[in-house]
Amino acid sequence: MLKATIEADIFRETIDAVSALVNECRLHVDEKGIRTITVDTSNVAMVSLELSASAFLTFAAEPCEIGLDIEKIRSMMSMIGKTDIVSLELDESGKKLKISFGGYEYSITLLDTKTIRKDPNAPNLNLPATFEVPGVMFNDAIKASSMVSDKISLAVSAETCVFTMNADGDSDRIKRELTGDDVHYLTCADARSLFSLDYLKDMGKSIGRAEKVQIRLGTDHPVQFSFVYAGGKGSVGYLLAPRIEAD
């Protein structure tokens, strides 16, 4: 059972964060709120999202699982006004979700949760460098880098405490250094890994809207991004596997 109302922009950020990586997901619903954890089809990236019941205007739920076609909801987004209140209601059969807003009633058929792959287990990773940077600075650097290359190295120097994003293309290079007030370290340690810009571009759009993104980085290890939204009542985590360095 689910019957809830939510502000349009929180609804939108929720959908956007997940749709960065996957087209469908299994939503776990209970009285505490909603959450999902899923990997992309090539097993390279993982997204986890939690949105507390208190982030909703009204929220009544009994534990259930919902199979969401994320793409379908995303295509409806342009209809939803910025200040609309979005109502969500699972129908009695549990097979359809009714989404209402601004005089509209939109009913979508849910996916059979049995057809959606099992929830992945979040791996335990030893990532020595942990720090925060403004989301918009991170996303801008990702956008710029993707103009010269398809991969980027993220690196922290324990000595200088500079966070360096470096994209080396065939003939050109873009380097972005964050230092001073732009980066706040929880633990500063040597770390350097190489990542595919394809995935980072998709994640970057959601990260770019966050005031701060926390980054956990190791050497030739996955990178972890986490940020909050909905006034701290929602949280998103991305995990991205490193690329093998060819050179």
Q: Can you give the binding site for its own copies, defined by CB under 8 A?
A: 72, 75-76, 79, 103-109, 137, 140-141, 143-144, 147-148, 171-178, 182
CB of 43 or CB of 75, closer to its own copies: 75
CB of 104 or CB of 158, closer to its own copies: 104
Residue with tokens 């990702």: 142
Query: How do strand 58-61 and strand 45-52 relate by DSSP bridges?
Result: unpaired
CB of 66 or CB of 127, closer to its own copies: 66
Interaxial angle between packed helices 135-145 and 197-207, expressed in degrees from 0 to 180 and rounded to the nearest 10: 150
Distances (CA, A) of 241 to 21, 174, 235: 13, 22, 20
| Rounded least distance, CB 173 to its own copies, Å | 4
CB of 26 or CB of 35, closer to its own copies: 26
Cβ-Cβ contacts under 8 Å for 213 (sequence gap 6 or more): 132, 133, 134, 135, 138, 207, 225, 226, 227
CB of 113 or CB of 235, closer to its own copies: 113
CB of 105 or CB of 150, closer to its own copies: 105
| Rounded least distance, CB 148 to its own copies, Å | 8
| Rounded least distance, CB 172 to its own copies, Å | 5
For residues 162 and 138, the answer to whether their CB atoms sit within 8 Å is no
| Rounded least distance, CB 2 to its own copies, Å | 18
| Rounded least distance, CB 229 to its own copies, Å | 25
| Rounded least distance, CB 137 to its own copies, Å | 8
Q: Report the candidate in 61, 54, 117 with the shortest Cα–Cα distance to residue 88.
A: 61
Q: How far apart are CA 140 and CA 89, in angstroms?
A: 37
CB of 130 or CB of 166, closer to its own copies: 166
| Rounded least distance, CB 107 to its own copies, Å | 4
Residue with tokens 């009714």: 98
